[in-house]
Structure 1
Amino acid sequence: MNRRAFLSKPAPLAKPLTTALAQPAAPPGPGDPPGDDEIISRFANTSLPTAARSQAGLNPYTGPWGYTQAAHLLRRCLFGPTRTEITTAAGQTLTQVMNGLLTAPAAPAAPLNVSATDTSVPQGQTWTTQPFDQNFEGVRRSSLRAWWLGQLLDQSPTLVEKMTLFWHNHFVIELGDINDARYGYHYCALLRQHALGNIKQLTEDITVAPAMLRYLNGNQSTATAPNENYGRELLELFTVGKGPLIGPGNYTTYTEADVQAAAKVLTGWRDNATTIAGYYTASRHNTTTKQFSAAFQNATIGNLGDQEYKALINLIFAQQATAEFLCRKLYRWFVYYVIDATTEAQVIQPLAQLLITNNYNVAPVLRVLLSSEHFFDTVNMGCVIKSPLDFTVGTCRQLQMVFPTASNLVAQYGMWDYLNSVTNVQQQYLGDPPNVAGWAAYWQTPQYYEMWINAVTLPRRNQLTDLFISTNGYTRNSVNIKIRPVELVLTLPPATASDPNLLIAELAKLLLPIPLTANQLTYLNDTLLPGLPDFEWTVEWQEYLAAPNNTAKKTAVETKLRALLRAMMGLAEYHLS
């Protein structure tokens, strides 16, 4: 496949906001981009702002610390923080919360076989150590995706899962392309192992990982025919990035000659399908001296055999541009996609220097960024459009949906698999970014996160929340999942649960990152109590508490709560983080 198709005009389903979500587009006017066969929403970005969004820098945040600030931090660091996680964090100091977020839990157990199709191991045992068999590849890959989704759903309050996905979007492979779920599991484990660790070490390890060797054709690279795929992406997408263009294929950060030299360095590596590892074959390695351009200080790398790729990584990570490129990606992942001149000077450049000073250990950089005045600036709260994974997993976690346990593995994996299917139709499929550049919402200027919302994905999001809040929910393998609003409200303080306005305010704090207007709050009150006075809710709720087994009384409050939550999940603010 053409893994660089992202350089071409996007396919229709990858467009930013499309006509179905917008008013009819006005005819092009002076200064408008030229028309073509794509009709873009009139509200989509056509350029990025240049004025400084925030004057705040990386000084430690010393302002108010409470529910609002804790919720902002956890929304960016977890997939849908629960009310318990937020209130716990609000009761700690920012330093204590960051200590927890930067503590990696034990590695999870390997994915399991839950399919009768895979006869290589009994159900309930892992397939990851079994020989490859094309007959079982489909169900193993589904098991891997489901297991990975399960890690997001059952995450502990640490940054590991968010950073594992970050590295997946950075060091991209596509499970469908490598066609060996065992390789995919090895890749996932590698990302999780280094999620909060050393970026340089991760880059070394991923360079000779079997999944990457197969995905970017490193296993086909020989002394006489160096394959440039990985060398090019290593420079352009994984490390130094593109600087200003100075000639055909040449940038201030690297040139075509550097791509060719890197390709020669990387020759000789292959993947072993038995050991699930990369290995070096000296006879396939290019032993010439590799000459790099002025972008790399005209450095040369001689024949170092199986250690030569490490010399290349050392050379790349000696460049200031590598630290800057990585810090910009981290910033867009956790804060916002606009990096204006002020942010570049006051945030990116100091972070890059901090990354270099810490020998490319990422945890110190994350601590400073996520504890900074800049991160907690009001303009950086509620400004990110949720990814499909954030939206879907966050809905399940924040609204306390109950999933099957490990005692029913088939049902458990089945539900995780179902969530993968719904994020897939929202255009984010775990394990299969659309190309080697990752999901376009993280790099495609000037729309960035806007691209998550379009005529295909917005209805899919609404259909999902409507299904989950319905009385039927979703059933698979004789197990049902749905939002249970009465049980949710029972977890709130009694005084909050019995007061309609306090109840709405508490749910809004949990689900919405932006304070609602008086008109919105009135609308939600009318949704909960259509045409009724406030005390009606208090009476009905107290009557239910007095007789919780009375079906009529439970139905009365449950119907009202379903209408309220459906309305809240239908607000634009619900799509923000």
Structure 2
Amino acid sequence: MGTDNIELIAHLMRRAGFGATRTEIEAYAAQGYDATVETLVNPAHPQWMGDYLIRRFHHEQSGMMGPRANGENWLYRMITTSAPLLEKMCLFWHGIFATGYPKVIHGKVLWDQIKMFRRHGMGSFKTLLVELSKDPAMIVWLDNQDNHKGAINENYGRELLELFSMGVGHYSEDDIKECARAFTGWTIGNTEYMVLRSERDSDWPYGRIAWHFERRADDHDSGDKTFLGQSGPFDGDDIIDIICQQDATARFIARHMYHFFVADEPPVPSWPYTPPRDPEAIDTLVRAYFESHYDIRAMLRALFHADFFKADDIRYEKVKSPAEFMAGILRLTGEFDRPRREILDRALQMTWMGQQLNNPPSVEGWHQGTAWIDTGTLVERINFASEQFGDVNKPGVKAMIDKVLDSGDAASVEDLVDACLDQMGAISVSGQTRGILTQVASQGNGSSGEAQVREKIANLFRLTAASHEFQRA
């Protein structure tokens, strides 16, 4: 099996998922790159160690009355899912449509939003925006329950245009007001209880009352509106239809997609003044957007098949977010063969690395790329990885060590380093990194005891996890 094919599949799995074991990479490579892309973008029967086990082992991660349970549940799903791109797309949309606990104060509603991303995140962008506009977490996050006929609240209309679809410079203040008018009456059922939280949540401790979307005709401004040059008695659905027709929308989503899956772009506020890193790549994604009538899955196919995605010079460039880093390591080490209490600790460690799921720092989401790394968070990342790969009793680590020993590739120091890099996800490293690994692998080389050899291999895993290349995708 060609080394180039293995390395390309490994690159795809780091970007479109959370990495993969060497065995998984070989299985994908055997079916071919094109078939692997199709499996990722259109998973036939997504499986994971599901909700029934969560309810059995962790009632709080099922009820989600507190601020952390939804993130713990989601992290567990990232670790155990058979459809990694599906969860990666939820993470993608969560970073754009940033919604958080400090204002929503309802973990189950935030989790329902992630479930909505799972249902619609790889389908029509138009449908996704409609569902987002009806999502109770988003309604509360951006105050659309306070957007009334004759007394508009512009928060949702503004962010829909600025951060969710078009970007600054492609609409006017009047467009924001007309957009807000179109979304009057898009609210939450029983909003009279919004102030009376004790009444709304009267069924504690058995679970919180789920919020639901309600469209109130008597509170909707049905008058004519002029939005982006078009006029009519628009409702929110009409506004979204007009938004999706815009070239600016296609380019905004394409640039986000390029930033998330290919190479870092500057923060979104800089986009009106800074051209894309690869304008031709953006054009490719824009064409896929319009030719498919706004289909996200078609854009993903175009991206993963493009030369700009496969290029050697963009590999190991993107710093893994804490969620990607954490999920990728735990998928390798096999710590979670079922729900365990340790998921609480792992979610907390992810927070120390700089990311608490369902709690972004602002409506802009997280700044990514090298912003994930500072002297404190890097220490957390390295310590966590070292702890995981240094535990030779973890099922994944034990299996990785066994495969290194069984492969017969550990005869020389160089072969041992190659075998360890393969088991860490078929990663390629610089000459400097390889030199350090080779130096460590050569130490104590005269000792032939199996326990010492296994410990040396685990130490090579730990050192690899601290490398520049492993910290990136």
- Verify: 1:419 aligned to 2:349, yes or no: no
Whether contact under 8 Å (1:425, 1:460) holds in the other structure is yes
Distance, in Å, in 1 between the alignment partners of 2:61 and 2:325 is 30
Equivalent residue, structure 2, for 1:393:
327
The worse-fitting range, judged by mean Cα deviation, of 339-348 and 91-100 is: 339-348
Whether contact under 8 Å (1:113, 1:125) holds in the other structure is no
Equivalent residue, structure 1, for 2:213:
278
Equivalent residue, structure 1, for 2:471:
575
Equivalent residue, structure 1, for 2:400:
488
Whether contact under 8 Å (1:301, 1:311) holds in the other structure is no
Deviation at 1:155, TM superposition (A): 2.2
**After superposition, where does 1:300-319 map in structure 2 within 5 Å?**
300-302=231-233, 308-319=235-246
SS of match in other structure, 2:166: coil
Letter in 2 for 1:279: E
Whether contact under 8 Å (1:89, 1:97) holds in the other structure is yes
Distance, in Å, in 1 between the alignment partners of 2:409 and 2:453 is 15
CA gap 1:419/1:235 in 2 versus in 1, 3 angstroms: same
Equivalent residue, structure 2, for 1:337:
264
Greater share of helix residues, 1 or 2?
A: 2
Distance, in Å, in 1 between the alignment partners of 2:276 and 2:58 is 54
Distance, in Å, in 2 between the alignment partners of 1:470 and 1:520 is 19
Distance, in Å, in 1 between the alignment partners of 2:61 and 2:388 is 32
Distance, in Å, in 2 between the alignment partners of 1:362 and 1:235 is 19
Which residue of 304, 307, 311 maps to 1:370? 304
Equivalent residue, structure 2, for 1:137:
65
**After superposition, where does 1:90-105 map in structure 2 within 5 Å?**
90-104=29-43, 105=45
Whether contact under 8 Å (1:291, 1:299) holds in the other structure is yes
Distance, in Å, in 2 between the alignment partners of 1:436 and 1:275 is 23
| Structure number with bigger Rg | 1
**After superposition, where does 1:85-234 map in structure 2 within 5 Å?**
85-104=24-43, 105-106=45-46, 111=51, 137-138=65-66, 141-234=67-160
Equivalent residue, structure 1, for 2:358:
431
SS of match in other structure, 2:462: helix
Whether contact under 8 Å (1:289, 1:301) holds in the other structure is yes
Whether contact under 8 Å (1:529, 1:560) holds in the other structure is no
Whether contact under 8 Å (1:65, 1:90) holds in the other structure is no
CA gap 1:106/1:530 in 2 versus in 1, 3 angstroms: closer
CA gap 1:65/1:527 in 2 versus in 1, 3 angstroms: closer
- Verify: 1:67 aligned to 2:1, yes or no: no
Provide Cα deviations, 1:439-475, integer angstroms capped at 9, x if missing partner: 111xxxxxxx11111122111112212322445x9xx
Provide Cα deviations, 1:258-308, integer angstroms capped at 9, x if missing partner: 11111111111221375632101222222332223xxx2x21231x5xxx1
Whether contact under 8 Å (1:222, 1:267) holds in the other structure is yes
Identity of aligned residues (%): 25
Structure 2: stretches of 5+ with no match in the other structure: 191-208, 267-273
Whether contact under 8 Å (1:433, 1:439) holds in the other structure is yes
Whether contact under 8 Å (1:524, 1:568) holds in the other structure is yes
Distance, in Å, in 1 between the alignment partners of 2:53 and 2:300 is 36
Letter in 2 for 1:359: H
Whether contact under 8 Å (2:7, 2:426) holds in the other structure is no
Deviation at 1:507, TM superposition (A): 2.2
SS of match in other structure, 2:187: strand
Which residue of 498, 520, 524 maps to 2:437? 524
**After superposition, where does 1:225-304 map in structure 2 within 5 Å?**
225-242=151-168, 251=169, 253-272=170-189, 276-292=211-227, 296=228, 298-302=229-233
Equivalent residue, structure 1, for 2:193:
none
Deviation at 1:153, TM superposition (A): 0.4
SS of match in other structure, 2:355: coil
Distance, in Å, in 2 between the alignment partners of 1:88 and 1:122 is 33
Structure 1: stretches of 5+ with no match in the other structure: 1-62, 115-120, 131-135, 243-250, 442-448, 474-480, 541-552
Deviation at 1:189, TM superposition (A): 1.0
Distance, in Å, in 2 between the alignment partners of 1:520 and 1:337 is 23
Equivalent residue, structure 2, for 1:463:
383
Distance, in Å, in 1 between the alignment partners of 2:58 and 2:276 is 54
Equivalent residue, structure 1, for 2:195:
none
SS of match in other structure, 2:123: coil
